[in-house]
């Protein structure tokens, strides 16, 4: 429960002490931090403490309650007042109400009356605090935006830095938080950005409770905040350990995979733009150092990234694995691609280009088989992955999901295409078996590998190519033997045999009798 601060002002000691002991202040959400027996002393306390509430008598020596309220309204406009009044002072109470006094309680003070007044005031204070906090955070975001653009004016900069400077801040860093919540191709719903920001805010506040709610600025793909060195000093932590503490509080087991990237420290907020720039530079190394959940600019000092093209060998292995629809080979080929990204220190732009290269080659394969790569469920994801925050493992999983789905489509298209071709081959054999055809000549005619054609024919029709061709020729020979007076050598020539003796041999093998005997049985 948030505690609101109170001072009690009355010229009678027994009233002040009685009011302190009358109710359970902490149980009602208040803490009495001081008291005064006159308006002048009360005003000094208000100036110093800025209490949330002042409970004051109206009639006091020197500065009375009305004058105190008037003076304090300029000095501490957010302080609320509850007045204590006797019946004869009611007209003064009415006058005080015109100055914005929240409530008044008549003497003698009743416990139920004061509790009711405090309860009503607590709702008002809570709503006001929320509005003030929302306004402060909204204004703070605008100040951060101006800071990282180098546009914040000196006056605004002093206001921004005052609380930290007063507490002894000597350096600042800018940190970027990436919330890798769910792979973009999964069906998991992303947490609303407002919820993500609040998670980060609460994590920082828990690690640095003395400094209130931090301002979180929403970038396009990340959330940024200023880290004064005070945050780490509070718990004797350096920047890395502080950010690891924040990270640990964000990782609450709901599938979030956050990463934090911090820029180099600067000695003043005027230089924050430079820290922001180095934080963005650090993000570029996320795939090179995938195991570092907190990555500082110092961690990449002296390192370089390069814009390179994916090797032809890596691309070829993935393409061949997809053509074979070999899932293990696909995973192995993608693993080799990921290794190449890291070994050759690919920049994020180079990685994006390499993935586009793989997608284009996959699309070409599918279109050659009369397919449409746009029907792939993962196509949209794989061409827009860079618009999301994903880890290296999620990038690998995305490529695997896309490539395996594409391989299945390629396999299906290949089977459909092959079935179409093989039916045409069979039809051609049915119509041209009497000609001088064989497996080699037909495979050439249909632009297919002879061995592959033979295997596909056997798989499709459960009979070998040459056996089926022989059956066609023998069946036609039997018809001619039954229905014509053609000589055997003439029939052999008619059905595609160049040598009559070979025809006779093959006829006997299938019919267990020579052609002449077959003819005689039908006569």
- For residue 309, name the pLDDT band (cuts at 50, 70, 90): very high
pLDDT at 181: 61
Q: What is the DSSP string of 305-317?
A: -B--PPPHHHHHH
CATH code: domain 149-288 is: 3.30.70.3400
Domain 433-522 CATH assignment equals 1.10.510.10: no
pLDDT at 385: 87
- For residue 253, name the pLDDT band (cuts at 50, 70, 90): low
- For residue 386, name the pLDDT band (cuts at 50, 70, 90): confident
pLDDT at 93: 62
Q: What is the mean pLDDT of the chain?
A: 88
Chain position carrying tokens 């430079």: 274
> CB–CB of 293/261 below 8 Å?
no
Containing H/E element for 227?
A: strand 223-228
pLDDT at 236: 61
Q: How far apart are CA 242 and CA 248, in angstroms?
A: 10
Q: How far apart are CA 78 and CA 446, in angstroms?
A: 89
What's the pTM? 0.69
Q: Please check the confidence at residue 87 and state whether its pLDDT lies above 60.
A: no
- For residue 74, name the pLDDT band (cuts at 50, 70, 90): confident
Q: Please check the confidence at residue 311 and state whether its pLDDT lies above 90.
A: yes
> CB–CB of 279/298 below 8 Å?
no
Average pLDDT score over residue span 462-476: 94
Q: What is the DSSP string of 416-441?
A: HHHHHHHHHHHHHHHHHTTSS--HHH
> CB–CB of 100/72 below 8 Å?
no
Q: Please check the confidence at residue 187 and state whether its pLDDT lies above 60.
A: no
Q: When comparing pLDDT for 31 and 95, which is higher? A: 31
- For residue 67, name the pLDDT band (cuts at 50, 70, 90): confident
pLDDT at 183: 57
Structural fold of domain 4-129: Rossmann fold (3.40.50)
Write the pLDDT tens digit of every residue in 416-450. Answer: 777 778 888 998 999 999 999 999 999 998 888 88
pLDDT at 252: 59
Q: How far apart are CA 425 and CA 423, in angstroms?
A: 5
> CB–CB of 32/8 below 8 Å?
yes
pLDDT at 144: 84
pLDDT at 186: 58
Containing H/E element for 406?
A: helix 392-432
Name the residue ranges covered by the structural domains of the chain.
4-129, 149-288, 312-415, 433-522
Q: Please check the confidence at residue 184 and state whether its pLDDT lies above 70.
A: no
Q: Which alpha helices (DSSP H) does 238-311 contain, by range?
A: 239-250, 272-283
pLDDT at 182: 60
Write the pLDDT tens digit of every residue in 21-35. Answer: 888 999 999 999 999
């Amino acid at each position: 429960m948030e505690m609101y601060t109170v001072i009690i002002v009355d010229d009678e000691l027994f009233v002040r002490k009685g009011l302190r002991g009358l109710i359970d202040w902490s149980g009602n959400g208040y803490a009495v931090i001081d008291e005064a027996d006159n308006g002048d002393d009360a005003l000094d306390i208000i100036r110093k403490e800025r209490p949330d509430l002042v409970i004051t008598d109206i009639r006091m020596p020197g500065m009375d309650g009305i004058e105190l309220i008037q003076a304090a309204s300029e000095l501490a406009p957010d302080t609320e007042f509850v007045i204590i009044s006797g019946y004869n002072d009611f007209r003064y109470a009415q006058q005080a109400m015109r100055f914005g006094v929240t409530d008044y309680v008549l003497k003698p003070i009743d416990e139920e009356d004061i509790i009711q007044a405090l309860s009503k005031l607590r709702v008002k204070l809570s709503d006001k605090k929320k509005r003030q906090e929302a306004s402060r955070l909204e204004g703070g975001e605008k100040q951060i935006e101006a800071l990282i653009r180098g546009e914040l004016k000196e006056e605004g900069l002093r206001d921004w830095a005052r609380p930290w400077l007063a507490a002894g801040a000597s350096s600042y860093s800018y940190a970027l938080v990436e919330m890798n919540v769910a792979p973009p191709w999964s069906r998991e719903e992303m947490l609303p950005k407002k919820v993500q920001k609040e998670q980060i805010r609460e994590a920082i506040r828990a690690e640095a409770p003395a400094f209130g709610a931090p301002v979180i600025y929403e970038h396009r793909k990340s959330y940024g905040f200023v880290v004064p060195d005070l945050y780490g000093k509070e718990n004797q932590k350096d920047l890395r350990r502080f950010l690891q503490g924040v990270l640990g509080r964000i990782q609450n087991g709901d599938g979030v995979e956050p990463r934090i990237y911090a820029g180099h420290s600067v000695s003043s907020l005027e230089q924050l733009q430079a820290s922001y720039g180095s934080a963005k530079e650090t993000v570029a190394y996320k795939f090179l150092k995938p195991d570092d959940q907190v990555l500082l600019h110092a961690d990449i000092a002296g390192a370089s990234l390069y814009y390179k093209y994916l090797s032809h060998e890596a691309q070829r292995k993935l393409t061949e694995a997809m053509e074979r629809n070999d899932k293990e080979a696909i995973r192995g080929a993608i693993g080799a691609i990921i290794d190449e990204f890291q070994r050759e220190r690919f920049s994020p732009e180079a990685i994006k280009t390499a993935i586009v290269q793989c997608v284009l080659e996959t699309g070409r394969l599918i279109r050659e088989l009369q397919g449409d790569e746009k029907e792939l469920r993962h196509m949209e994801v794989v061409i827009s992955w860079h618009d999301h925050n994903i880890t290296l493992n999620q990038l690998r999983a995305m490529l695997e999901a896309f490539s395996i789905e594409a391989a299945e489509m390629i396999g299906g298209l290949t089977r459909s295409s092959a079935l179409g071709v093989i039916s045409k081959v069979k039809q051609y054999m049915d119509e041209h078996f009497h000609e001088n055809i064989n497996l080699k000549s037909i495979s050439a005619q249909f632009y297919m590998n002879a061995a592959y054609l033979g295997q596909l024919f056997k798989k499709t029709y459960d009979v070998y190519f040459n056996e089926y061709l022989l059956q066609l020729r023998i069946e036609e020979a039997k018809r001619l033997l039954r229905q014509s007076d053609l000589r055997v050598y003439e029939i052999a020539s008619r059905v595609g045999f160049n040598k009559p003796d070979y025809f006779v041999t093959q006829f006997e093998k299938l019919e267990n009798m020579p052609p002449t005997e077959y003819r005689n049985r039908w006569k």
